[in-house]
Amino acid sequence: MAQKPSIPKGTRDFLPADVARRSYVINTIKTHFERYGFLPIETPSMEKSASLLGKYGEEGDRLMFHVLNSGEKVKKADIAALSENKLGRFTQSISEKALRYDLTVPFARFVVQHQNELSFPFKRYQVQSVWRADRPQRGRFQEFTQCDADVVGAVSPVLEAECIQLFDAVFHSLHLKDATIRINHRSILSGIATYLGAPDRITDFTVALDKLDKIGAAGVFDELKQKGFGEDALKKLNPLIALSGSIDEQLDSLESLLSAQPLAIEGIAHLRDVLRFLPSLHVSNLAFDLTLARGLNYYTGIIFEVAPPKTVAMGSIGAGGRYDDLTALFGLKDMHGLGISFGLDRLCMVLEELDLYPTTLQQTVDVVVLHFGDAYMQDLIPYIEKCRAAGLRVMTYPTNHKLKKQMQFANQSNAPWVFFYGEEEQKEGVLSVKNMRNGATNIITLDAFDATVLST
């Protein structure tokens, strides 16, 4: 194979520096998930196709990665389906499993399957890869990591307030200031649709509304007109999209505008309940956003979306909401759910762009031990052992290369300490320890060697 090897489009190799950064973010998220009482679970990468197909709409079915049946089973290929261009049927004739498309549907399947082993309310978190055959582009990959926290089996504004606090706590730890946590409520959107005289056209209405930021009020109105909304409806909409002031003030205005819409009033009251449980946030802004209308095919209550700081041109870095029917897909009714998700890849890109990664991540080795010959190295083994037992990460240079080459390696490794032990040191029974941060060399008697002083 003369050609340089490569990996499938939309997938990535992570070099040590990448893994260090990703682990830092993942560990931060996990730590806070646990502080909010979420417990970790994991589900298989492959689910039965029957568990996934039809759960994500047409687009999901199209972008799902199917795993071919093994061995002789591919003989069952439905050639007729292929020639009739029934690609879905053909696929199902040779594939019974698909790669996880998100973490939510597998979680619903998990809850139903293990309901007798769990105690409810059940709070779980899950940090795993998902796969989508999407066209790769900046920030969009065919394999990427989702970090989800969900609670099922309870309805309470406390839980929703905690979702908002959790977003904030994670951003605080990551030193990411000025993210905006936008909230809305499905019932408010439904109430508005009714108010506009189009209760069954909530999707048309929200799709247009969602573009307010990009195309302005006039653009939204044009689009709604084209979709058949009348002048009267648009006039009613005008004050709704012009809401201003604090969240409380906006909810007050909304309440008086929509006073005749019980659904909307219910949604407003619910958001107020949530705000009662919310102490001031550390680093994020909370915003009520009437144009936020994501996941309307599954969210039934509050909806969250988190935008990165305005200085970064990037889509949402977090999202979530309440859903009340998810496990019903697997035969378990009345299991209320609420969840949030962090987009790891985008979050990493935002931290990169804002240069927020701690410099300590660059230190992946603490000590490099130079090699002056096997006889010298042999003497050092017990002391290297002591360093490792004290928790230090030690790279023993394996061969007696030229000192220049070894020092080059030590420099690149970014280790703060380098050990020299050659003829001189052996004769004196000492170790030369170079502090790579300030260039000073200390001579340490081997008898008095104490690894713990190096960990500071």
Edge-to-edge strands of the sheet including 122-131? Answer: 39-40, 122-131, 143-152, 337-343, 318-323, 302-307, 180-185, 285-288
Q: Dump strand ranges (E) for 204-356.
A: 285-288, 302-307, 318-323, 337-343
Considering the complex, state which of residue 172 and residue 434 has its C-beta at the smaller distance from its own copies: 172
Question: Residue 335 Cβ, how far from its own copies at the closest point, in Å?
Answer: 13
CB 42 → its own copies: shortest distance, Å?
4
Nearer Cβ to its own copies (106/309): 106
The C-alpha atoms of residue 453 and residue 456 are separated, in whole angstroms, by 6
Q: Shortest distance, CB of residue 331 to its own copies, whole angstroms?
A: 5
Contacts with 216 (C-beta within 8 Å, 6 or more apart), sequence order: none
CA distance 63 to 42: 22
Tokens, residue 228:
């058949």
Tell the smallest beta-carbon distance from residue 423 to its own copies (Å).
Answer: 18
**What residues are paired with 124 via a beta bridge?**
39, 150
Q: Which of 229, 172, 236 is nearest to 201 (CA)?
A: 229
Q: Which two tokens stand for residue 26?
A: 């993942």
Is residue 98 a contact partner of residue 68, using CB atoms and an 8 Å limit?
no
Q: DSSP letter at 139?
A: T
> Read out DSSP for 81-129?
HHHTT-HHHHHHHHEEEEE---SHHHHHHHHHHTGGGS-SSEEEEEEEE
Q: How far apart are CA 102 and CA 60, in angstroms?
A: 10
Q: How far is the CB of 69 from its own copies (least distance, A)?
A: 9
- Provide the minimum distance between the beta carbon of 235 and its own copies in the complex, in angstroms, as a whole number: 39
Q: How far is the CB of 245 from its own copies (least distance, A)?
A: 24
* Shortest Cβ 59–its own copies spacing (Å): 12
Name which of 131 and 205 has its Cβ closer to its own copies.
Answer: 131
CA angle 161, 163, 165 (to 5 degrees): 70
DSSP designation for 290: T
3-state secondary structure of 18: helix
Nearest CB to its own copies, comparing residues 192 and 392: 392
145 or 250: whose CB is closer to its own copies?
145
- Which residue, 35 or 175, is less far from its own copies as judged by CB? 35
User: HSE of 217 in the Cβ direction (CA atoms, 13 Å)?
Assistant: 10
Query: Which CB sits closer to its own copies, 124 or 186?
Result: 124
> At closest approach, how far in Å is the CB of 401 from its own copies?
9
Shortest distance, CB of residue 102 to its own copies, whole angstroms? 15
Compare residues 45 and 253 and give the one whose CB is closer to its own copies.
45
Contact 183, 271 (CB under 8 A): yes
d(CA 296, CA 224): 18
C-alpha atoms less than 13 angstroms from C-alpha of 244 in its C-beta half-sphere? 2
Nearer to its own copies, 35 or 227 (CB): 35
Of 111, 8, 138, the C-alpha closest to 65 is 8
Q: Are 303 and 184 within 8 A, CB to CB?
A: yes
Minimum CB distance to its own copies, residue 25 (Å): 14
- Cα gap 250→185, rounded to integer Å: 13
